[in-house]
Every structure is written in C-alpha cells, then in structure tokens.
Amino acid sequence: MTVVAEPKNGGGGGGLKREMGLMSAINVIISVMIGSGIFVSPTAALRYSGSVGFCLVVWTVCGGISLLGALCFAELGTVVPRSGAEYAYLIEAFKKSHSFWGPLPSFICAWVYVMILRPAEIAVIILTFAEYSILPFRHLLGLEYMSAEDLHLLIKLIGILGLGIITYINLSSVKLYVTINNVFGFCKVFACLVVIFGGVYQLAIGNTQNLAGGFEGTTTSPGHIALAFYNGLWAYDGWSSVTTITEEIKNPEVNIPRSIMIAVPIITGLYVFMNLAYMTVLSMGEMIASEAVGIDFGDRALGSFSFLIPLGVALATFGCALSIQFGVTRLCYVASQEDQMLEPLSYIHVRRATPAPAVAMQGALALAFILVGNIEMLIEFASFLIWFFYGAAVVALLALRRNQPNVHRPYKVPLIVPYITLAVSVFLSVVPVISDPSPKYLFAVAFILSGVLVYTPFVYYKVRPRWINKLTFLIQVLFEVVPSSSKLD
C-alpha cells in the first residue's frame, strides 16, 4: 500500500520535467568526462606506450573508440526513452525473458552503481576538490606549517562542505543544477585551453626537444600496448552520462545523439592537445615520475598564472561530482519505479520536481564513504564492472534489434559498431584481472552475490517488512514528496 500525501500548491506527482536542452546535455557529458585525471595523472598511457608519438596515437584512438560506444548508447537512448542508461536498457531487453533471471542483471547494475560505486566515486572526487581548492591559498592559510593529520582533517571538512553544497543543488531544482553545471562546464574547458595554449606558446618559442624523439622507444609488447589503451579508455569514461537523464532532456531523440557527437570529439581534442602540451614542457621521465602533472606543468610554463591549474582541478572535480550525483539519483528513481528499490526513491518533490529522497540517500552514502576514508581501493575493486555493464547494455541493444525489429529508431548505428564496443568492453573487464590477478576482485564477486541475496526475497518474492509503510509515510512528510505520475498509474 502506498501512502500518498496531498500535494501543496497544486504541484506534485508529475514526474521529472524536461528542462535540459542541447547545450545542457553537452555540458553533462563534459562535466562527467573531465574530472581531475587529465590534470593530475594522465601518465599511465605514456608509461606503457614507450614514446611520445605512440602515446598521442593511443589518446586519439581511445577517443574514437569511446565515441563508438557513446553512439551505441545514443541509439539505445532513443529506443528506450527512460533515464537510467544501462539499467533501463537491461530492463527493457531482458525483464520478460524469465521471471527470476530476466530482471536480475538490471538489479545487479543498480545495486553496484547506487550502493557502492557512484557514492564512493563522489566521495573521492569531492575530496580531490577539497585538496585542490585550497592549493592556491596554501601560503595564505599556512598549509606548509600544518601537520599531516590537521591537513587531512581540513580537507575532509571542506569535502563534507562541498558534498553538502552539491546535494543541496540537486535537491533544490533541475534549473539550478543546469545553470551551475553549465558555468562549471565552460570553466573547466577554459582550464583545459589554458594548458593547451601554454603548450602552444612553448612550441612557438622553439621548445621542441621533448618531442624530438617522436616514436622512438615505442613498445612492442602486446601486454604494454593493451595496458596503454586500457588506461587511455578509462580516462574517457563518462560518455554515457547523458543517457542516465534521458527523461529530462528536451527532444531526446535529437539532442542525445547530437550532444554525444559534439561532446566526445571536443573532449578527445582537448585530451590529445593537453597531453601534447604536457609532453612539450615535461620530459617523459618527469611526467611518469610526477605526482600531479598539471601542477608541475603550471609551475614551469605558466609562471604567476600557475594557480589556474589547481583552480581548474577544483572546478573540474566539483562539476564532476555534481553531475555524477545528479545522474545516479535518476537511476535510483527508475529502479524504484520497477520495484527494485525502496518505493519512496521514485517520489518527486511537490514543488521542485526533484527526486528528493534519492538525492538525500546518495548524499548520505557519499558522506559515509568520506567519513570511513581509504576508499580508493574499494573503487578499484568494483570499477572494472563499469565496462562489464557497458558491454551488457550493448548486448541489450543487439537483443532489442532482434526482438523488436519494427520499433522506430530515430538514430541507428551500423551493426559493426556494437560488436566493436562489445569487444572493447570484454577487453576492459578482463585486462585488470589478468594484469593484476589479485584476490581483491573477489570483493566485486562477493558484492554481486550480496545483491542476489537481497534480490531474491525483496524483489523476486516481493517480501515487504511491516515497517515499510511507516518509513514511506515518514519520507513523504519529511521531504514533501509524492509518487510520480507513472507510479500512480
């Protein structure tokens, strides 16, 4: 039984609103794809490539491969017009195939993303924001005189404050999120262009010695080549983010493919030329040994404007955390509509049209991960599953083409594209296990099994504890939320 509170002021219950146009969709992709990695640690591809020339080839090809994967999601987003990305596609393709096994893949996808992977990512990203947001003021704040313990506490407190801000933004309204995300998107692209033009200036004054080697030293090891592409492809992760919020995109059958075709090539160009700039100013050895490539680049190439790099990292990470939280709450919303998560997670605020309980839950989970600390290893345990779910979504695309051949497809990729993406997905799921066969990956298996233990009684058999109705009513009163129109139907 659903307890329904009366909407105030004539609002409520209408579901998510389409308030995001093409530019906003582009900025969502940019916000999630450009985090701290390209500023702080873009060196793994260089280390395994063995040469400047081959490294640039790797970054370029990885951008192209990411575009192919994103185009698969563009087709899926126009065929399955629901938020949730991989989750929604797995539900549509397999839910009716078997009463138990059919809905299970989608539940495991939601279980991993909602309960551990996305909130843990948000925690790490917002702590990176906190660390780099104070770097421009390190002398003013006297950070060099603080003990390591006090500095760690300061970063954690700033991180919690940052988490509170992004949670408030996502609770308040989609329009506020769009406005802030657009501003941060433009700012982080500007920060990337600062690095690029810094490198262009160095080339213009004849600083080419670090590039003179070209392809000299290029690795011939198949294992190292695989690891170079593996690390390059991970840097492009986030291209599916716009399909997580499909129900809030205006004219999605047009704007989703267009946003992908615009954003991913832009980011590919930024990444390639940023790496070229880094390699112009820093030698291969210096880049590989650097703990923060962007900071070292700024100190050497930007002079008194070097503060722009940590500022750029802070802007990039804040916008990235904001958009990841925005997206994962929509996954909560859709999973709840499918009765695979607590029902109130699909409830909408009566005036603000935001899934307030889902946002609050994600904020609380991220806060827990910040307080626990040392969660980077936790993300490593589960992050290889991201490309596993990407591959599962591509299988869903192929299944939908076979089972629903007559469905209108506003956008359709050539058949070779899904197979290439599927091969890449298998590659990225297997390489980390083969290259580092650690027992840590058993954690991911254990977490999946724990999901099955939750799925069996509460989703498949629909066991409903007696206290659920009281919790639902409490959430409705506390957050001023009501069921969305689809739930009422």
pLDDT above 50 (res 6)? no
**Lowest-pLDDT range of 98-112, 114-128, 214-228:** 214-228
Q: How far apart are CA 268 and CA 61, in angstroms?
A: 9
**pTM recorded for the entire structure:** 0.91
Q: How far apart are CA 81 and CA 78, in angstroms?
A: 6
**Lowest-pLDDT range of 6-20, 136-150, 307-321, 328-342:** 6-20
Higher-pLDDT residue of 392, 379: 392
pLDDT digits (tens, 9 = 90+) for 317-331: 999 999 999 999 999
CB-CB contact of 167 with 122 (8 Å): no
pLDDT digits (tens, 9 = 90+) for 227-255: 888 888 888 888 999 999 999 999 999 99
pLDDT digits (tens, 9 = 90+) for 151-164: 889 999 999 999 99
pLDDT for res 379: 64
Kindly report the three-state secondary structure assignment for every residue of the chain: CCCCCCCCCCCCCCCCCCCECHHHHHHHHHHHHCCCHHHHCCCHHHHHHCCHHHHHHHHHHHHHHHHHHHHHHHHHHHHCCCCCCHHHHHHHHHCCCCCCCCCHHHHHHHHHHHHHHHHHHHHHHHHHHHHHHCHHHHHHHCHHHCCHHHHHHHHHHHHHHHHHHHHHHHHHCHHHHHHHHHHHHHHHHHHHHHHHHHHHHHHHCCCCHHHCCCCCCCCCCHHHHHHHHHHHHHHCCCCCHHHHHHHHECCHHHHHHHHHHHHHHHHHHHHHHHHHHHHHHCCHHHHHHCCCHHHHHHHHHCHHHCCHHHHHHHHHHHHHHHHHHHHHHHHHHHHHHCCCCCHHHHEEECCCCCCHHHHHHHHHHHHHHHHHCCCHHHHHHHHHHHHHHHHHHHHHHHHHHHHCCCCCCCCCCCCHHHHHHHHHHHHHHHHHHHHCCCCCHHHHHHHHHHHHHHHHHHHHCCCCCCCHHHHHHHHHHHHCEEECHHHHC
Q: What's 22-487's CATH class?
A: mainly alpha
Q: How far apart are CA 284 and CA 307, in angstroms?
A: 23
- Determine the average pLDDT of the residues in 124-137: 88
- Residue-range domain boundaries for the chain: 22-487
pLDDT for res 141: 73
Q: How far apart are CA 111 and CA 241, in angstroms?
A: 18
Q: How far apart are CA 64 and CA 57, in angstroms?
A: 11
- Determine the average pLDDT of the residues in 242-271: 95
CB-CB contact of 66 with 233 (8 Å): yes
**Lowest-pLDDT range of 10-19, 368-377, 437-446, 453-462:** 10-19
pLDDT for res 393: 95
pLDDT for res 4: 45
Smallest CA-to-CA distance from 2 within 345, 360, 333 is with: 345
Q: What confidence category does residue 488 fall into, taking pLDDT thresholds of 50, 70 and 90?
A: very low
Q: Number of C-alpha atoms within 13 angstroms, CB side, residue 405? A: 1
Q: Number of C-alpha atoms within 13 angstroms, CB side, residue 228? A: 25
What does pLDDT average to over the chain? Answer: 89
Q: How far apart are CA 414 and CA 214, in angstroms?
A: 35
CB-CB contact of 312 with 198 (8 Å): no
CB-CB contact of 244 with 109 (8 Å): no
Q: What confidence category does residue 14 fall into, taking pLDDT thresholds of 50, 70 and 90?
A: low
Write phi, then psi, for 300 (nearest 5 degrees).
-90, -35
End-to-end CA distance of the chain: 14
Q: What confidence category does residue 381 fall into, taking pLDDT thresholds of 50, 70 and 90?
A: low
Hey, which residues does 249 pair with through a beta bridge? Answer: 20
Q: How far apart are CA 421 and CA 427, in angstroms?
A: 10
- Determine the average pLDDT of the residues in 185-193: 92
**Lowest-pLDDT range of 238-242, 428-432, 454-458:** 428-432
pLDDT above 80 (res 262)? yes
Higher-pLDDT residue of 339, 488: 339
